[in-house]
Structure 1
Amino acid sequence: MFHRRKFLKQGAMAMLSAPLISFDTHKKWSLAPLKTTEVDDAYWKTVRKQFPLKEGATYFNNGTMGPTSGYALDRMVHHMLHYNIEAATIDYKNGSGPELLTGYFPYTELRTKLANIINCDYKEVSLVQNATFGMNYVGMGLDLKQGDELLNTNQEHGGGFGAWQLLAKRKGCVYKQAILPEPANDPEAVFNAIFKEVTAKTKVIAIPHIVSGYGTVMPVKAICEEAKKRGIFTVLDGAQCVGHIPVDVKDIGCDAYYSSLHKWLLAPAGSGLLYVNNNIASTIWSTIASYNWDNQEDHGFRLMQNGTGNAGLMEGYNAAVDFFNTIGAENWLGRIKELGMYLRDGLKKMPHVTIYSSTNEEMAAGITSYGVKGYSGPDLQKIMWEREKLQPRSVGNKMIRHSVHIYNSKEEIDKALQIVQSLA
C-alpha cells in the first residue's frame, strides 16, 4: 500500500509540473523566428507555430477571445513563478527584481508602445482591464445632467451600452439608439442613421468602431467630425479594433476610445486600454481613486488607479505588444484583411448563403457573419466542429460569426467553405 501511495503521489506531482516545464524550456517561445523581411506562406506557417494551439483543431472565434502566443505566456508564467520563488529576496520599493504590484506605477514604457500603435501621447493612454472598464471610466466620469441625451446604436455589445443605460436611470438622462442598416454596405446610410437621432440635447455619441456581431467597420471619422461641429462628446467602442484594423485616434478625431486587447492583439485576458484626448481629459472625473486620483500632469495615469492587480499579467501584456510589433502592424493587419476577404469571396459564390456582414470591403475586415439556408447558427457551429474540428461561433439563431487571424490559413478557410457548399 505504501508503494502504491508513493507512486500515485509522484504521478500527480508530475502531472502538475508538466505544463510549467513546457513553458520553462525557453527553446520554442522566441521572437527570433518572426524577425524577417520575407513574409510569405512559409512565414505565416512559422507564425502559427508560435501558438500552443492544439493541432488538428482550428480556432475561428478570435472576436470573443484571442489565443495568446507562447512567447507572451512564457514571459507571464516566468514572472509569476519567479516572484513566488524569490518573494523573500525582492524589495518592491527599491526596484530589485520584477514588479510585484500593479495599480501604483505609470507603466510608461508599455503605455508608450500602445500610444505608438493608436497614434497619441502616452499620457492619453490608461491601462484598464477591458473595454467595459474603459466605457465605464468615461461614462461615470462625465458631468451629465437630467435630460441630457445619450446616443448608442441597436447593434451594441453589452459592454458598449451598459454604462449609458445605467446613467440614464441614475441621472435621469435620455437613452436612445440609432437603428443601423443590416447589412451595412453604405457609409453614408450609417452616418444618416446616427444623426437622424441627434437633437440639440444630445451630449454623447457612443458607438462601436467595429460592430461586434456583424464585423461592420463604421465610418467613425465622419461621425466624429460632425459631432465635434455640434459640440457632442464622442466615445468609440474599439473592443474589436486594436490589432484588427488600423486605429489612429488623432485622425479619427474622437474624444475617447477604449479596446480589449485580449481579442485581436492576442494579449492575456485582462489587458485593455483607454484613450482620452488631453484636450478633454481634465473634464473626466476619476472613477476609482488611489494615490494619483488627481494627477493633472498625467491624466492617463490618473484614470488607471486600480489598486493591486496581477503583475505577471502586465508582463504578458507587454510581451504581447512586443509580439505584435515584431511581426509589424502592416503585415499583421494585412494578413487579417487578406484572410477575411478570402472567406467572403468564397461565400459570395454560394446562393444558399446570406452574408449579414458588410460586403463593402471598405467596411469589412476579419469578422464575417453569415447564415446558410435551412440551418440555424448553432446547427452550423455543431456541423463545423463535428466534420472538421473547426470552431467559429454562432450568434443568435440565424447566423454564425467567423473570425480569422494570423494563426489561421487559407487551407483552414477552404475546409469551412467546403462544408458550407455541401449544405446547399
Structure 2
Amino acid sequence: MNRSNSRRSFIKRGTALMGGAFSAYSLFNQLYAADWEAKNLQYAGISDLEMAENEDYWSMIQQGYTASSSPVMNLNNGGVSPSPLVVQQAVERYNQLSNQAPSYYMWRILDQGREPVREKLALLAGCDPEEVAINRNATEALNTVIYGLDLQKGDEVIGSKQDYPNMMQAWHQRAQREGIVYKQLLFDFPIEDDDTIVAAYREAISPKTKIIHVTHVINWVGQIMPVKKICRMAHEHGIEVIVDGAHSFGLLDFKIPDLEGDYFGTSLHKYLSAPIGTGMLWVKKEKIGKIWPLLCNGDPKSTDIRKFETLGTRSFPLEQGIGEALNFHNGIGAKRKEERIRFLKNYWAEKAVKIPGVRIHTSLKPEYSCAIAGVSLENMTPQRLEQNLLARFKIHTSPISYENIHCVRVSPHVYTRLADLDKLVGALTILAEKHDPRDLEKQGV
C-alpha cells in the first residue's frame, strides 16, 4: 500500500472511531462484548455477592488488564488505577488521529465527542448531564467549588483532618487569604457507628457555618462515611455539603443525587480505570450559576455546567478514552464490581489480622469499607514495611504516617488475583516474625 493509500486508511479508521465508544464500532464491542455476554449468560441468575468469588468469571476480566501481568504487583490502586488494554488502545488511536492535524481533529472532531461522554457519565452517576463537567481530577473538580463559593470573612467551613491534602490545603489557603474559619475534626478510624460520625459534624456547627466538606471514602484507610446522613443533618441547619468522591465513584454502587449533597468531585482514573488525568465535577443544577469557575470564563455566572470546562488546550484523547472505560465498567456491572473488590480486600485482610503482630486499621464490615484497608506491623514503621514489601516481594503499596494514622494502605482492583493476595499475606507473615532489633537494623528493616 502506498503512502497516500495508507494515510487514507488511517483516517478512515479514525473516522470510524468518531462513531465513539458508544457505537457498534467501539473497541470494547470489537474485543470483549461477545465473550462477556456469553459468560454473563452462563452465570445468569447468580447474585453479585456470589459472583464475587467466581474465579472463572474474574479471570476473564483480569485478561483485559495489562497490569495483571506486571512484574510489580500493584496494590496501590487507591492512588491511580491502571486502565484496561481497551482504554489504552483507544487513547493511543485518538492521539494518533490528533497528531494528523491537531487543531482540526482536536477542536473540530474530538471536541464534539465530549457530549456523548458527558451523557454516559451522567447515566452512571444517575444525574442530569447538565450537571456534569469533565475535567482532569478530583483536585480540580473540588477546588473549583472550594474557590468558587462566595464566602465572607468569618464564615465557617467544617472538614476533617482525614480529608485529602489538596482539599485541606485549598481551605487553608482561603482561610489565610480571606479570613474564613476552617474547622477540622479528627476521627479515630475505624468507626462502625454512623451516629458517632454525624454527631461530630453536628456538634461543630455554629451560626456562622456555611459549608461541610466530607470525604465519601477516606483515602488513608478506606472508611466509608455516612454521607447521606451528614447531608440531611447539614441541610436541616441550612448548610451546604461538598462531597469528595475520589475513592467512591466507579467503586461503590450509588447514584450521586442519592447522597443528597450539593457538590461532588471525583477522579475517573481511580476505580473507574479511565485514562490517567481524567476527572468529573457534579454541581446540583440550581447551584451552578453561583459558583465561579476556577479558570476564566466569558460568563462566569452562567448556569451552563460547561463554564467549568474552559481549560484551554488539554488532552482530548484522554477525554475520549473515558468512553471505553465506561464500557468496561458497565460490562461488569457496578454492584458486581463493588462486591468483587470488597471480597478481595476481605480475602487478604481476614487472613492478615490473624498473624501475630499484624494490625488492620479498617473495618471489615461491608457498610464501612470496600477496597482500601490499612495494615501495620508491631516491629516496623509503615515506611519500612512499604520498603520491604517492594524490595523483597515486588509488592507496591502506599505508606502512611499522618496525624493519628500509621499504616500501609493496600488497595486491590478487579485485575488482582487471589494468588497475588496470598503472596501479600505470606510477605506479611515473614515480616511480622520476631527478630532481634539489631538484626532488623542491619537488614534495613
CA shift at 1:160, angstroms? Answer: 2.2
- For the Cα contact (< 8 Å) 2:98–2:106, is it kept in 1? no
Q: Is the Cα–Cα contact under 8 Å of residues 134 and 258 in structure 1 kept in the other structure?
A: yes
Instruction: Please say which of residues 52-61 and 327-336 is displaced more in the overlay.
Output: 52-61
> Per the alignment, in what secondary structure is the counterpart of residue 31 of structure 2?
coil
Q: What do the CA deviations read for 1:82-127 (whole angstroms, capped 9, x no partner)?
A: 2223569x5777x5xx42xx5xx68221111111222111111111
> Which of the residues 55, 75, 80 maps onto 1:60?
75
Q: Is the 8 A contact 1:111 1:126 kept in 2?
A: yes
How far apart, in 2, do the equivalents of 1:170 and 1:27 lie? 48
Deviations 1:164-197 (A, max 9, x none): 1111122211111012123322222211222221
Change (3 A) 1:292 1:114: farther
**What residue number does 2:92 align with?**
77
* 1:385-412 C-alpha deviation (Å, 9 max, x unpaired): 3443221221128411000110002221
Distance 1:392 1:311 in 2: 31
1:59-103 superposed Cα distances (whole Å, 9 cap, x missing partner): 100011111111011011111112223569x5777x5xx42xx5x
2:57 paired with 1:43: yes
Give the Cα–Cα distance (whole angstroms) in 2 for the partners of residues 237 and 92 of structure 1: 30
2:32 equivalent in structure 1: 31
Aligned-residue Cα RMSD (Å) equals: 2.3
Maintained 8 Å contact 2:143/2:167: no
**Secondary structure, in 3 states, of the residue corresponding to 2:269?**
coil
Contact 1:214/1:357 (8 A) holds in 2: yes
- Tell which deviates more after alignment, 222-231 or 405-414: 405-414
Deviates more, 1:411-420 or 1:30-39: 30-39
**Displacement after TM superposition at 1:293 (Å):** 4.4
Distance verdict in 2 for CA 1:292–1:108, change over 3 Å: farther
TM-fit CA distance, 1:328 = 1.6
Which secondary structure state, in structure 2, belongs to the residue aligned with residue 361 of structure 1?
Answer: coil
| SS of match in other structure, 2:414 | coil
**Unaligned 5+ residue runs, structure 1?**
1-25
1:210 corresponds, among 217, 235, 244, to 217
CA distance in 2 between counterparts of 1:404 and 1:242 reads: 15
Change in 2 beyond 3 A, CA 1:408/1:107: same
2:6 is aligned to none
CA distance in 2, matches of 1:394, 1:419: 16
2:383 alignment partner, one of 353, 375, 378: 378
CA contact (8 A) 2:114 2:320 kept: no
- Could you tell me which of 235, 239, 242 is aligned with 1:228? 235
Task: Measure, in 1, the Cα distance between the counterparts of 2:301 and 2:174.
Answer: 23
Cα gap change, 1:176 to 1:131, in 2 (>3 Å): same
Q: 2:425 aligns with which of 408, 417, 420?
A: 417
Which blocks of at least 5 consecutive residues in structure 2 are unaligned?
Answer: 1-26, 44-50, 434-445
Superposition map of 1:253-264 within 5 A: 253-264=260-271
Superposed, which structure 2 residues align to 1:305-316 within 5 Å?
305-316=310-321
The letter for the 2-side match of 1:307 is G
For residues 348-398 of structure 1, give each alpha carbon's deviation from its aligned partner in whole angstroms, at most 9, with x where no partner exists.
323421222224331111000011110211222232234432212211284
Contact 1:256–1:277 (8 Å) recurs in 2: yes
Q: Say whether the 8 Å CA contact 1:217–1:364 is kept in structure 2.
A: yes
Alignment partner, residue 116 of structure 1: 123
TM-score, normalised with respect to structure 1: 0.86
- Identity level (%): 27
Contact 1:142–1:283 (CA under 8 A) maintained in structure 2: yes
In structure 1, C-alpha distance between the alignment counterparts of 2:70 and 2:246, rounded to whole Å:
28
The ranges of structure 1 where at least 4 consecutive aligned residues each deviate by more than 6 angstroms after the TM superposition are: 26-29
Secondary structure at the counterpart of residue 264 of structure 1: coil
Determine the C-alpha separation between the residues in 2 that align with 1:312 and 1:214. Answer: 33
Residue 347 of structure 1: how far off its partner (Å)? 2.4
Q: Which amino acid aligns with 1:353?
A: V
- Higher fraction of helix: 2
CA gap of 1:414–1:382, structure 2 versus 1, over 3 A, is same
**Residue number in structure 2 paired with 1:13:** none
SS in 2 for 1:30: helix
Distance 1:86 1:147, change over 3 A: closer
Cα distance in 1 for residues equivalent to 2:246 and 2:387: 27
- 1:196 partner SS: helix
Residue 353 in 1 paired to residue 368 in 2?
no
Distance 2:106 2:183 in 1: 48
- Maintained 8 Å contact 2:62/2:414: yes
- How many angstroms does 1:27 deviate by? 12
Deviates more, 1:79-88 or 1:412-421: 79-88
Query: What is the distance in 1 between the residues matched to 2:254 and 2:28?
Result: 34
Equivalent-residue separation in structure 1 for 2:196 and 2:202 (angstroms): 10
- Counterpart among 133, 142, 156 of residue 126 in structure 1: 133
CA-to-aligned-CA distance 1:131-189 (integer Å, 9 cap, x gap): 11111111121110010001110112112212211111222111110121233222222
Match of 2:327 in 1: 322
Seen in structure 2, the aligned counterparts of structure 1 residues 259 and 87 have a Cα distance that, compared at 3 Å, is: closer
TM-score by length of structure 2 reads 0.82
CA apart distance, 1:292: 6.0
Q: Which moved more, 1:277-286 or 1:212-221?
A: 277-286
Q: Which moved more, 1:219-228 or 1:275-284?
A: 275-284
Mapped partners of 2:187, 2:175: distance in 1:
21
Give the residue type in structure 2 aligned to 1:30. L
Q: Across the two proteins, how many residue pairs are aligned to each other?
A: 389
Preserved CA contact (<8 Å) 1:335 1:406: yes
Q: Determine whether 1:300 maps to 2:301.
A: no
1:216 partner amino acid: Q
CA shift in 2, pair 1:176/1:329, >3 Å: same
Give secondary structure in 1 for the equivalent of 2:206.
Answer: coil
Residue of structure 1 equivalent to 2:346: 341
